[in-house]
Amino acid sequence: MRHFLDIDAIDASELKNILKMAHDMKNARIGMPKGAHDNGAPLAGHILAMIFEKSSTRTRVSFDVGMRQLGGSAVLLETSTSQLGRGETIADTARVLSRMVDAIMLRANSHKSLVELARWASVPVINGLTDKSHPCQIMADLMTVEEAGLNLKDARLAWVGDGNNVLTSFIEASAVFGFSLVAACPIGYQPDNKIVNKAIAKGAKIEVLTDAALAVTGADCVVTDTWVSMGDTNVSERMQALSPYQVDEELMAKANNGAIFMHCLPAHRNEEVTDAVIDGASSKVFDEAENRIHAQKAVLRWCLEK
């Protein structure tokens, strides 16, 4: 079964093929209407169940549009309007949906729920985000880095802010794609040492610092994310700890000439990033958002062996 749960759970050659397929499909659509099927409609007749425990804009729309472009369709399930929200077990849900659809995407509060769903499902399961990782986002991000003309093997990426689930997937990806990664996070908000050390043992070039300016110096790409995610309750504590990590024009100026800025969105403008940066010439955030469609289409085709 081809599940797409975490970057480090998939063979490097397969991940590189997925990334190449994403580029190829996006390039093939140049000049096509947005709603048109991709040539051959490779997922014609296929149905994706999308389960949301957390609200979403980009994940929901990109998977739905991606399925439509591939000739398939998607069914939306939210915990507030399904039996998952009324006590049905994940195992039972997995077995029922496996009789009805061809693949399942879960955007979950807990990574354990994703693993449990994959354990009981007899169709591919895709990680649409959990508290641990966000692999689909990273595939879109790496696609964006390459579109900007950077060679991943030679690129230096700087992460600034909270050591969250998106950073975890970047750490895992660094061991596969060869880019160096420097993360600047305050004490108490740094990534899990076990995840970092596991990636380093696989050959990743990773540093974890507390100095944002030092991390950004010489970077080809600067990445950040919101300081307060859905479910976080220690809001004032987070804001205080992370306020020195705002990405502004002064910080971006320390990166290499022509460096790009990325953010998976939604952004809290003038908190983790200023308007001047996110709307500036270096920003690739809207390319990044669009690329979710194409990266996830490649993931879907890989999972369904199409």
Catalytic residue, from 3, 292, 294, 301: name it: 292
Q: Determine how many CB atoms are found less than 10 A away from the CB of residue 277.
A: 26
Cα–Cα distance for residue pair 285/262, rounded to 1 Å: 5
Give catalytic status of residue 303 as yes or no: no
What is the distance between the alpha carbons of residues 30 and 51, in angstroms, rounded to a whole number? 31
Euclidean distance between CA atoms 48 and 66, whole angstroms? 10
Does 137 participate in catalysis according to the annotation? yes
Q: Is 134 a catalytic residue?
A: yes
Active-site residue among 6, 64, 220, 225?
A: 225
Burial of 279 (0-12, 13-18, 19+ CB in 10 A): exposed
Q: How big is the chain, counted in residues?
A: 306
102 is catalytic: no
Residue 254 is classified by DSSP as T
Over the range 85-113, which residues count as b (16 or more CB within 10 Å of their CB) and which as e?
eeeeebeebbeebbeebbbbbbbbeebeb
Does 264 participate in catalysis according to the annotation?
Answer: yes
- Annotated catalytic residue 192: no
Q: Distance between CA atoms of 68 and 41, rounded to whole angstroms?
A: 9
Which one of the listed residues 64, 264, 301, 303 is annotated catalytic? 264
142 close to 167: Cβ distance less than 8 angstroms: no
- Residues 149, 41: Cα–Cα separation, whole Å: 29
Catalytically annotated residue among 3, 58, 107, 238: 107
Catalytic residue numbers, as ranges: 107, 134, 137, 225, 264, 292
